[in-house]
Every structure is written in structure tokens, then in C-alpha cells.
Amino acid sequence: MRTRLLVVVSSIGMLLAAAPLWAHHAFSAEFDASRPVKLKGTVTQWELVNPHSWLHIDVKNEDGTVTNWMIEGGSPNALLRLGVTKGSLPPGTEIVVEGYQAKDRGAIAVGKNITFPDGKRMFLGSSAPPDADKK
Amino acid sequence: MSHRLFASTAAALTALIMGCAQTPASGQTTPTGAKKAWTPPHTPDGQPDLQGYWTNNTLTPLERPKELGAKEFYTEAELADLMKKDQTRVALNEEEGRPTEPGTNADVHYDYTQFALDRGQAKLSWNQRTSMIVGERGTLPPMLPEARKRNADIAAKNRGHELDGPENLSLSSRCIVVNQESVPMLSGGYNNNLQIVQAAGVVAIMNEMNHSVRIVPIDGGPHLSADVHQFRGDSIGHWEGNTLVVDSTNFTARNPFHGSGDKLHVVERFTRVDADTIVYRFTVEDPETWDQPWTAETAWSKVDGPIFEYACHEGNYSLRNTLHGARVADEEAAEKKAGK
């Protein structure tokens, strides 16, 4: 499996407005906006737990070693209402994660966007309106 | 309080001004014009029946956007346009409808649409108000100078120490109390689901966010002693016609509402105006924070149950990650200072 692990260091740039009100914690305190990552790996565990779900994936590094990354996702309640269950993402599933690495520089990231290798977005399938205005 | 603008007989008026509950997927709306007077069912002990599952999920801001001036209500056509725009927004990877710039703090979050957290993916309780705060101004009243100083002093004291230890993190990060379960009860990012259960002498409101139950006695008893301060205050209720009126005092400045102090006083009015809608109106006063009381109104809409558990501590790795990240930053700063 070809692995892409990009840790791009760049200037943080001008901060936009306030932190999102969505989560019960501040993402920007936990994750580093200057460290975007793109990870391709296989699911080893899918923790559908509160307050945030966590996806564990094995990512093969360029030197042949494997790192198990831990990816933060949303609260499970809304997913459950859409019919997503613990069995929806079985171990062995290949996925691609774009996100930001944790500030502790460990193998932890927030999964901004999670897709399957064919580009299909995880969980959403075709539910996105086809005429969505991409601005 | 002298500013109870919403008499118990105002259900018909409320039906006039409140809009409709709508599920984006269905596109079904309820007419926003005059409705026939609706008589709510009653519980076996004679209370108007508010029981069931509700959502207070809304896109209506607390304060009116400046560009709308004194416009208090959208027209039906304007509301329909907003609803349509919101449905197209669901597919976008944005925060509150605004694009986020890669590499910025605002962009650091999971995809709300992917995890069904975008407000447009859950049932929304629409209405024609341009802001929850009622009246011509539509914004919070001026904050008193002493309150501004109080809040500035607190911020100054915390500045630079936000990540010193777990006790420095916010109450919500620590799963102690989150905004949605505080008083007044407003929606947040997700899990905006509520369940009301009534029994003789008591109304209980379960809030999915943080899985907490607010128990409101309606037995005519007094508030707690003024010496007792609680994150969500102390609530006592009574019925005025078909409206449940809940009076809350005994707050603590440790859980402020838009900068309030421990003299916060909130009067909430819950009126079921039809089978699927509760009008939720509240008046806030704090003589040590604002120069006048202010009132806001929104709608709760019927949703399907059940309420799911939100066990905030269950997998709250965020605290560990946040504090460990801060300690790594401390070490790096120390090494840099030492010239390593």
C-alpha cells in the first residue's frame, strides 16, 4: 500500500473569527493548524464513543514501519440517528484521512475529511445534494 | 418581574409570529399565518401536557445581524429562501456557512457534514424571527462598565494560563456543564434533543447534550437559600394558563451567560402552541451586568425519540491531548530559550 504522509509546516496565517461553537472543546487547543496531514491507512479500531468518536488506522511509513494513528471524529449520537453503527467501519477498511496533527506531535489527528480510496466520502454516500453550490 | 411581555393568553399571537418546524429532507412547512386557537392535551393530574421529544436546533442567531437593522421578522418568502439556501449549504465543508481557510485555526475540526453535525442535517426548528432577541434593537443591551471590568479582569487573570492544568480548561471541555444544558436553554453544535416528562408537582427536562436532567418543582416551594449557587441556578415553576413559567436564580458567575454574574435571574415561559411546537420565551436580567432586562424567543419542534446517552467522560481523550500538547510546547519553548 502506498502511503502518503505529509506534514506541511507553514505559517498559521491570520486567525479567522472565533473558534467553532460545535464541539465541547476547542479544537485549536488540541490540534495544530500549521500541521495538516494526509494519511492513507487501514482501520484497526472504530471507537464510537462520546464525546467524540475515534478511528484508529495503521499507516505504513515510507521506511516500511507502521504507525497506528488515532483520528478524532464527531459525536456518535448524530451518526447513530443516520444509521451508522459500530459495524459500519470494520477493521481492514482502507481509508484516507485529511486533517491536522495534535499539538503533542504524536500519532493523533483530527479527521477533517475522511474518504475511501475511490474518493467517496465516508458515511455520507450520495446524501449530499447534487446541486450543492460550491461557491 | 415587571417585563413579562408574554401573557399566558398569547398562544394565538405566538402562532402568528412563530414560523414552522421543518425537516430539510422533507421540505414540508406549516403555514406561518394565523392559526386556530389550539387547546393542549392535559396530563392525568391536570397540567397542560408538554411531554415528548423536542429539538431547539435553530439557525436563528441570538442577536440580530447589524445589516438587518430593526427588521424583526423575515417575510414568508425570505424564510423560504433561507431554508433553500441552507439545504444547499449542507454539502459544503464549512463552519456555519462560511468557508474556512486551510491552515487556520477555524479550519481545525472534523467535517461537520460528514459526521452529521451540521445543523442543517438535523431537524431544524425554523421561525420567521431574524434574531431570538425580540424588539426593535434585537441585540443584547449595553453591558454596565463594572461588568465589563469584571469580565476583563477574569480574562486578564486567565490569559497565558489557559492550558496550565485541567482546572484551567472550560467547564464544557471538562464535561462538567455545557452551554446547552445551562439556563436559558439554547441550542449548540449538536445533540440538541430534549425530553420533557411531567409528574405531579414536577416537570423534568432531559437534555441530550451532557445527558442531564433539569428538575423543576411546581409545588409552590421557595428558591434555595441565597447562599447556594449552582451552575444551572435553582429553578421553580408554576402554570399561568397553558404556559409553564420557570423562575431561576442562585446562579454562579463561574458559568456565565454572555458575561453575567451570580445575580443572573431568568424567567422562562414554555407554551405549547400546537401538537408539534413549543414556544420558548425567556427574559434575562442581571442588575450587575446589563442596564436593562432583555427578552428572547425561539421554538422547539417535535422530534422522534429516543434521547441517546451522551457520556462525556467516556472517551474524553481531548483533555489529555490538549494538556500534553501544551506541555510539549512548554518543553520546546524552554529548549529554544536555552539555545538548544
Q: What is the pTM of this model?
A: 0.82
Mean model confidence pLDDT for chain B: 85
Residue B318 covered by a domain: no
Interface contact A26-B170, CB threshold 8 A: yes
Cell numbers 393568553: residue:
B9
The whole-angstrom separation of Cα A106 and Cα A71 is: 11
Q: Average the pLDDT over A111-129 and give the result.
A: 68
Give the chain A residue whose CA is nearest to the CA of B208.
A77
CB within 8 Å of chain B, chain A residues 11-50: 11-17, 19-34, 36, 47, 49-50
B340 within domain boundaries: no
Q: Is B328 domain-assigned? A: no
CATH number at residue B155: 2.40.128.20
Cβ-Cβ pairs closer than 8 A, A with B, add up to 207
Global ipTM: 0.74
Architecture of domain A27-115: Beta Barrel (2.40)
- Which residues in A lie closer than 8 A to residue B329 (C-beta atoms)? 103
Tracing cell 477555524 back to the chain, one arrives at B106
- Cβ-based contacts of A48 with chain B (< 8 Å): none
Q: Express each pLDDT in B127-154 by its tens digit.
A: 899 999 999 999 999 999 999 999 999 9
**pLDDT single digits (tens) B210-239:** 999 999 999 999 999 999 999 999 999 999
Question: What residue of B is the nearest CA neighbor of A30?
Answer: B322
- Compute the distance between CA of residue B83 and CA of residue B123 in angstroms, rounded to an integer: 12
Within 8 A of B91 by CB-CB distance, chain A residues are: 128-129, 132
| DSSP letter, residue B31 | -
List the domain range (segments joined by +) for residue B286: 11-309
HSE on the CB side for B129, CA within 13 Å?
31
What's the structural domain count of chain B?
A: 1
Output the pLDDT for position B47: 95
Take residue B226 and report the three cell numbers written for it.
441565597
pLDDT in tens, B303-329: 999 999 998 888 889 899 999 999 999
- B322: nearest Cα among A18, A118, A85, A32: A32
**Grid cell locating B4:** 413579562
- A99 in contact with B at a CB cutoff of 8 Å? yes
Q: Which of A122-131, B59-68, B132-141, B330-339 is the least confident region?
A: A122-131
**B321 occurs within a structural domain:** no
pLDDT score recorded for residue B119: 59
Query: What is the rounded distance in angstroms from the CA atom of residue A12 to the CA atom of residue A19?
Result: 14
- Which residues on chain A are in Cβ contact (under 8 Å) with B325? 29-30, 32, 102-105
